[in-house]
Amino acid sequence: MGAYCNDDLNMPVYSAGAPTNELRFSKHVYDNVHGNIYLDPLCLKFIDTEQFQRLRELKQLGVTNMVYPGAVHSRFEHSLGVYWLAGETAQKLKNFQGMELDIDKHDLQTVRLAGLLHDIGHGPFSHMFEREFLPKVMSGCEWSHESMSVKMIDHIVDTHNIDIDAQMLKRVKDMILASTEFSQLKSNAEKRFLYDIVANGRNGIDVDKFDYLVRDSRACGLGCNFQFQRLTETMRVMDNEICYRAKEYRNVHKLFATRADLYRTVYTHPKVKAIELMIVDAMVKANDYLGISTNIDDPAEYWKLDDTILKTIEIAPDQELAEAKDLILRVRRRQLYQFCNEYAVPKEKIEHFKAVTAQDIVCSQKHTSLTLKEEDIAVTNVKIDLARGRENPLECIKFFKVHYRLSVLYTIISTLYLIDGFLVQDYESEEKFVIPEERVSHLLPTTFQDMIVRVYAKKPELVEAVSEAFENFQVRTYGIKAQVHETPEKKKRRVM
């Protein structure tokens, strides 16, 4: 992310993301995904705080850079990207349907702020903090980074005396919570469609995904064939809901398919998960001494917590942190938990799937001279879906058709010269509808969620025993051997 640059105040700048007169007095940064991003004065007041600058110390993909070296981009970059796309999207709706939607400058400012601040409550190492670490140290914890973002926003406003309209502030927080159970917005609420731009709980299409799908793919050296620009250029609000042209059905599907592919190949890569498991174990061992989870509800202290907690543990001289330090040293030296095997839960069993535990594997061990213990084994239950669990997300998305009509002049001319597209006018249907799967393609998936169980041995000498116990567990649970990978010993025997 580039440094701030002062614009020439005598040179007007136009962008779809903000009014021209605002941009003349803004600053800008150069983003490697979206190009120049112009920062309006109110958003700059939030950006230039220690709480927001903390996002520079939070890697967007947690420990993924230890497998994909280029994945070192931060929540700071992503937040600026979402800020920009949120403003661009709202402005395009205003341009296309201005009189009808009554989008004003306060709406644009609100949406931009929601995009900017939507991730300000994130903990260290991406989602690992709330999904893996906190449940291990706080039973029954229902903490979420979205709810923390709301608390952090109030803290920033109070601490830095930011002058912001109370109603705008409330709407910003509601927009951030719009994808969670904490915000039950009525579908007929005033300008309800604005709440779907940043965090869309209605169908999952939002600018947060637009940014991270492209940004993460690029950072990891992967291609991204999803084109969010086609959606934002042709979207339309109908009955207080953002709808898309029917011909964009496959492009919308690519959005969710790209997300699922990133989960398979990047976010839940076997070695990424191994490192995450080790970092979680290290943080759990350090928690009592350092109190990592102590201030998760106090924004005045919570903002001081970021990815540097790893270095804090690593260099601390305290003997109480010895076990945690040893785990981090193993990560540095690439002495990782050893991946033993995995299997995909049969699709008919997913609905009633119960998370597999280390105890399940221990109880499946046959009588051998080596006795496994729960602390020898790490299990991760990986869920990969298209953003709505076992449901098809496209069933929640509304589409519209574009009809074409020809002018009388075109009809006359076409009898003499066939000029494709000459004087063709288009107009949009007033109906919104869901496109049935069978009307699109039989090649699209029939199931929309995978559940993969992976097992790791925490010590290399236990790989064979853990692998065999895991295989026994599969046979006992499903009556099949679903082994994907051969154990090291079986590989040796096959080669010999």
Active site residues: 145
Cα–Cα distance for residue pair 472/363, rounded to 1 Å: 10
Q: In which residue are the tokens 């136009």 written?
A: 14
Q: Cα(133)–Cα(143) distance, rounded to whole angstroms?
A: 11
Rg (CA), the chain: 26
* Closest-CA residue to 70 (of 215, 208, 175): 215
Nearest partner of 95 among 22, 165, 160, 16, judged by Cα? 16
Q: Which residues share a beta bridge with 36?
A: 30
Task: HSE, CB side, 13 Å, CA atoms: give it for residue 302.
Answer: 25
- Residue 402: strand pairing partners: 428
How many Å apart are CA 438 and CA 163, to the nearest integer?
53
Degrees to nearest 5, angle at CA 38 with 33 and 41: 145
Task: For residue 406, list its beta bridge partners.
Answer: 424
DSSP state of 376: G
Sheet containing 241-245: order of strands? 236-238, 241-245, 399-400
Give the pair of three-digit tokens for residue 491: 């590989």
Task: Tally DSSP H helices, then E strands, for the chain.
Answer: 20, 11
Among residues 448, 438, 349, the alpha carbon closest in space to that of 392 is found at 448
Q: Which residues, at least 6 apart from 232, have a Cβ–Cβ distance to it below 8 Å?
A: 85, 88, 89, 92, 210
